[in-house]
Amino acid sequence: MIKNLNPLHPGEVLNEVYMKEMGLNQSQLAELCNCTPRKINEIVNGKRGISPQFAIELETAIGTSAELWVKMQAEFDLWVARQSVA
């Protein structure tokens, strides 16, 4: 069986792919998502996951699908869980 490479935390993808491409800093994204800059900081630094509710906020704010973020978070969470039993 081939082991999967460790997936990126969704916050890293948010920062590296979307925020940089759109020229958004953490405060600007927080304003678009109606949340605190601290929440964005915790997400992009991998200290907090992306909840389904926040995935919907991202969908509205930056035009991505909520399903993208929920799936990415689920895959990351599953990988983390597998590491703890391996």
What is 10-77's CATH number? 1.10.260.40
Which of these, 81, 67, 74, lies nearest to 9 by C-alpha position?
74
Q: What burial letters (b/e) apply to 13-30, b meaning 16+ CB within 10 Å?
A: bbbeebbeeeebebeebb
* Mean pLDDT (10-residue bins), the chain, 86 residues: 78 98 98 98 98 98 98 97 89
**Where along the chain do its domains lie?**
10-77
pLDDT of the residue at 2: 54
- Give the separation between CA 43 and CA 48, rounded to whole angstroms: 5
* CA distances to 7, 19, 27, 68, 70 from 49, in Å: 13, 17, 18, 13, 10
**Tokens at 34, concatenated:** 């109606």
Instruction: Flag whether the pTM goes above 0.95.
Output: no
- Give the separation between CA 20 and CA 83, rounded to whole angstroms: 30
pLDDT of the residue at 5: 80
